[in-house]
Amino acid sequence: MTYSQAIRSFICDELTTDVSADEIPEDYDLLASGVLDSLALVRLIAWLGETFSLPINEMDLAPEDFLSVKAIDDFILKHEQKAVA
């Protein structure tokens, strides 16, 4: 299972209100395009922590983790598995 639809919904509800969720390509560069500026990144991380019960405060975070919908999805899957394990 992936979370890309939920991530897309978050982005288009909060950050790019003129596009619909399925218009966001999975590999679209959210950082270079400025969709995720430093403030939006803070909001995204808080949302990830809350929605997916990730222990954000204990994690090492790198900007590349949030490069695209795909990268964010991989990030959730990776840490979700850790949390389960």
Partner 1 sequence: MVYETLSQGFLEQFEKTKDKIALFTDHGDVRYLDLLEIYRGFCHQVEDLPLPSGSRVALYAEKNAQTIALILALWHHGHPVMVVPTALGDKACDKVFEDAAIFAQLGLNTNGTIEILKEVRGKGFTKCTSSCALILTTSGSTGVPKGVMLPVRALTNFFNWARQQFSVTADTTVFSYAPLNFDLALLEIWTPLSVGARSVLADPVKGADGAYLRSLVSTYQPDLIEGVPLLYRLLAEADGSSAFKAPFVKNVIMTGEKFSKEQRHQLAHMFPEAIFRNVYGATETNNSLVFSCNAEELTDLEVMPVGMPLPNVKVLVEPTDEPEADDVARGELLVSTPFQATGYTDPVKTEDAFITRTVEGVASTFYKTGDLVNMKQNGLIYLEGRSDFIVKVRGVRTNIVDVEIALASHPDVEAAAVIPLPDTAAGTKLAAVVQVSPGAKLNSLSLRSFCADHIPRSAIPSFYKISSDPIARTSTGKPDRKSLAGFFLETGEATS
Per CB under 8 A, residues contacting partner 1 are 14-19, 23-25, 28-29, 32-35, 37-39
Residue with tokens 């596009």: 19
CB closer to partner 1, 11 vs 79: 11
Q: How far is the CB of 77 from partner 1 (least distance, A)?
A: 24
Start-to-end Cα distance in the chain: 17
Q: How far is the CB of 64 from partner 1 (least distance, A)?
A: 16
Task: Give 65's contacts (C-beta < 8 A, 6+ positions apart).
Answer: 71, 72, 75
Q: How far is the CB of 78 from partner 1 (least distance, A)?
A: 26
CB closer to partner 1, 38 vs 81: 38
Rounded Cα–Cα distance for residues 38 and 31 (Å):
9
